[in-house]
């Protein structure tokens, strides 16, 4: 039995749905783009087989509850990105968030639409208390998105990632459920 059973989240322009085996080509397109992977924690994919492996891991994570990854899909069915809650620490009601949007769709505020839906699910159905993000210090667009969603910058961890022969620091952001609720219900 899956710990995460398939569901969808609907936003004004997007459907967020579970990843499927048929998404391999779209995911390969996303994760083989060196520009999109510039601040990512692994190098761009080179082979379609990496997409199939990644989907296998995603399906396994639905089963064992280690990650909840949703595909961002346009009304015409095009998969343009993914948003993920992962590294669940259930005893402490916390996890991490990650996200990836295809470059042709940058600059249209799609992530500012997808992430709130996932975060609301995290603080609601998943009963999270805290969501963390670990981003590259030069990833300005990602910082802006997190700050717009009321994440607070909490610290800098030095030389945390080796990617493609380069070492990089991590900026750590955190969002508490009470801050999220205060932001979405400011009158309360
Ligand atoms: C990070 C990512 C989701 C951003 O999506 P995007 O559509 O390009 O973001 P936007 O264009 O909406 O930019 C977000 C904000 O940053 C601002 N911004 C973007 N680049 C900027 C720059 N170089 N300098 C200053 N501000 C910048 C935008 O003006 C926008 O601000 P606003 O919300 O006040 O309008 C997307 O670039 C992506 O998927 N990148 C690859 C994966 C990744 O890095 N994921 C994050 C790590 S977990």
Six token digits for residue 97: 């968030």
What confidence tens digit (pLDDT) does each residue in 152-175 have? 999 999 999 999 899 999 999 999
- Take atom 13 of ligand 1 and give the residue whose Cα is closest: 141
Please report the pLDDT score of residue 2 as a whole number: 87
- Take atom 17 of ligand 1 and give the residue whose Cα is closest: 141
pLDDT above 80 for 187: no
pLDDT above 80 for 1: no
Mean pLDDT of 75-99: 98
Residues with CB under 6 A from ligand 1: 36, 39-40, 98-101, 106-107, 109, 111, 135, 139-142, 144-145, 148
Distance CA 15, CA 9 (A): 6
User: Buried b vs exposed e over 142-161: b needs ≥16 C-beta within 10 Å?
Assistant: bbebbeebbbeeeeeeeeeb
In the structure, what pLDDT confidence band is assigned to residue 83 with cuts at 50, 70 and 90?
A: very high
pLDDT above 90 for 186: no
How far is the centre of ligand 1, averaged over its atoms, from the C-alpha of 177 (Å)?
A: 23
Mean pLDDT of 69-95: 98
All domains of the chain in start order, with CATH = 9-184 (3.40.630.30)
Query: Do 88 and 62 meet the contact criterion of CB atoms below 8 Å apart?
Result: no
Please report the pLDDT score of residue 188 as a whole number: 56
Mean pLDDT of 115-129: 98
Six token digits for residue 154: 């909490």
Query: Do 56 and 27 meet the contact criterion of CB atoms below 8 Å apart?
Result: no
Mean pLDDT (the chain) is 97
Q: Strand pairing of 130-135 and 94-101? A: parallel
């Amino acid at each position: 039995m899956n710990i995460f059973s398939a569901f969808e989240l609907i936003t004004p322009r997007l459907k967020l749905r579970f990843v499927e085996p048929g998404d391999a080509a779209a995911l390969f397109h996303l994760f083989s783009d060196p520009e999109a992977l510039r601040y990512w924690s692994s190098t761009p994919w080179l082979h379609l087989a990496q997409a199939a492996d990644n989907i296998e891991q995603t399906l396994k994570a639905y089963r064992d509850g280690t990650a909840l990854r949703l595909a961002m899909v346009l009304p015409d069915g095009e998969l343009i990105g993914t948003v993920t809650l992962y590294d669940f620490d259930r005893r402490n009601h916390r996890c991490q968030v990650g996200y990836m949007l295809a470059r042709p769709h940058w600059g249209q505020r799609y992530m500012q639409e997808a992430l709130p839906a996932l975060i609301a699910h995290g603080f609601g159905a998943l009963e999270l208390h805290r969501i963390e993000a670990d981003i590259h210090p030069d990833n300005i667009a990602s910082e802006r998105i997190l700050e717009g969603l009321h994440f607070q910058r909490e610290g800098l961890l030095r030389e945390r990632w080796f990617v493609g022969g380069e070492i990089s620091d991590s900026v750590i952001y955190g969002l508490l459920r009470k801050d999220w609720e205060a932001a979405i219900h400011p009158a309360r």
